[in-house]
Structure 1
Amino acid sequence: MKMTSRKMKDELEKRLINASRTSYYDRDKDTYRIENKESGKGITISLPDIVAKWEIHKEKAIEEVVYYTEEGLQAMEGALILEGKEKNIFPVIRSTSFPKESSEGIPFLFDEHTAETRVYYAFDLGSTYRIIDEQLMQKEQWDAKRIKEIALFNVRSLSTDMKTDSVAGNIFYFLNKNDGYDASRILNEVFLKQMEKKIKGTMAVAVPHQDVLIIADVQNDTGYDILAQMNMSFFASGRVPITALSFLYENGEFEPIFILGKNKKRN
Structure 2
Amino acid sequence: MDGRKMKDLLQERLQSNDRTFTFDSKKDVLRIENTTTGKGITIELPGIIAKWETIKEKAVDEVVYYVEEALNVMGEEHTLAGREKNIYPVIRSTSFPQEATEGNRFLFDDHTAETRIYYALDLGNTYRLIDEGLLAKESWDAEQIRQIARFNVRSLPTPVKSDTVAGNTFYFLNTNDGYDASRILNESWLKEMKGKMNGTMAIAIPHQDVIIIADVENDTGYDVLAQMAMSFFASGHVPITALSFLYEEEGLEPVFILGKNKKRSE
| TM bracket, shorter-chain basis | 0.7 to 0.9
Counterpart of 2:17, as a letter, is I
Q: Does 1:196 align with 2:221?
A: no
Aligned to 2:158: 160
Q: Distance in 1 between matches of 2:256 and 2:64?
A: 35
* TM-score normalized with structure 1 length: 0.84
Tell me whether 40-49 or 204-213 shows the greater mean CA deviation. 40-49
Corresponding residue SS for 1:225: helix
Please show how residues 76-87 of structure 1 align to structure 2 within 5 Å: 76-87=74-85
Contact 2:92 2:118 in 1 (8 A): yes
Q: Distance in 1 between matches of 2:204 and 2:49?
A: 27
Corresponding residue SS for 2:74: helix
Contact 1:163 1:173 in 2 (8 A): yes
Across the aligned residues of Structure 1 and Structure 2, the Cα RMSD in angstroms comes to 2.9
Please show how residues 41-52 of structure 1 align to structure 2 within 5 Å: 41-44=39-42
Aligned to 2:17: 17
Contact 1:207 1:246 in 2 (8 A): yes
Please, which runs of 5 or more residues in structure 1 have no aligned partner? Answer: none
Q: Distance in 2 between matches of 1:94 and 1:229?
A: 21
* TM-score normalized with structure 2 length: 0.85
Corresponding residue SS for 1:265: strand
Superposition deviation, residue 97 in structure 1:
1.9
Percent identity reads: 64
Evaluate the alpha carbon distance shift between residue 66 and residue 56 of structure 1 in structure 2; reply closer, same or farther with a 3 A threshold: closer
Q: Which of residues 201, 204, 216 in structure 2 aligns to 1:206?
A: 204
Contact 1:5 1:30 in 2 (8 A): no
Aligned to 1:236: 234
Contact 2:110 2:117 in 1 (8 A): yes
Counterpart of 1:24, as a letter, is T
CA deviation profile, 1:74-93 (whole Å, cap 9, x unmatched): 21220111100111110001
Q: Which has the higher contact order (CA 8 A, sep 6+)?
A: 2
Q: Distance in 2 between matches of 1:101 and 1:68?
A: 12
Corresponding residue SS for 1:72: helix
Q: Distance in 2 between matches of 1:9 and 1:206?
A: 29
Aligned to 1:266: 264
Contact 1:17 1:23 in 2 (8 A): no
Counterpart of 1:205, as a letter, is I
Q: Which of residues 49, 70, 73 in structure 1 aligns to 2:71?
A: 73
Counterpart of 1:129, as a letter, is Y
Superposition deviation, residue 193 in structure 1:
0.7
Counterpart of 1:165, as a letter, is D
Q: Distance in 2 between matches of 1:48 and 1:96?
A: 15
Superposition deviation, residue 17 in structure 1:
2.9
Please show how residues 168-183 of structure 1 align to structure 2 within 5 Å: 168-183=166-181
Q: Distance in 2 between matches of 1:6 and 1:133?
A: 26
Evaluate the alpha carbon distance shift between residue 7 and residue 247 of structure 1 in structure 2; reply closer, same or farther with a 3 A threshold: closer
Corresponding residue SS for 1:77: coil
Superposition deviation, residue 111 in structure 1:
1.1
Contact 1:96 1:116 in 2 (8 A): yes
Superposition deviation, residue 9 in structure 1:
5.5
Aligned to 1:246: 244
Contact 2:10 2:64 in 1 (8 A): no
Q: Distance in 2 between matches of 1:67 and 1:110?
A: 19
Count of residues in correspondence between the two structures: 256
Evaluate the alpha carbon distance shift between residue 255 and residue 7 of structure 1 in structure 2; reply closer, same or farther with a 3 A threshold: closer
Q: Does 1:117 align with 2:109?
A: no
CA deviation profile, 1:120-143 (whole Å, cap 9, x unmatched): 111112222111111100001100
Contact 1:172 1:214 in 2 (8 A): yes
Corresponding residue SS for 2:206: coil
Q: Distance in 2 between matches of 1:147 and 1:10?
A: 35
Contact 1:75 1:125 in 2 (8 A): no
Q: Distance in 1 between matches of 2:217 and 2:17?
A: 53
Counterpart of 2:16, as a letter, is L
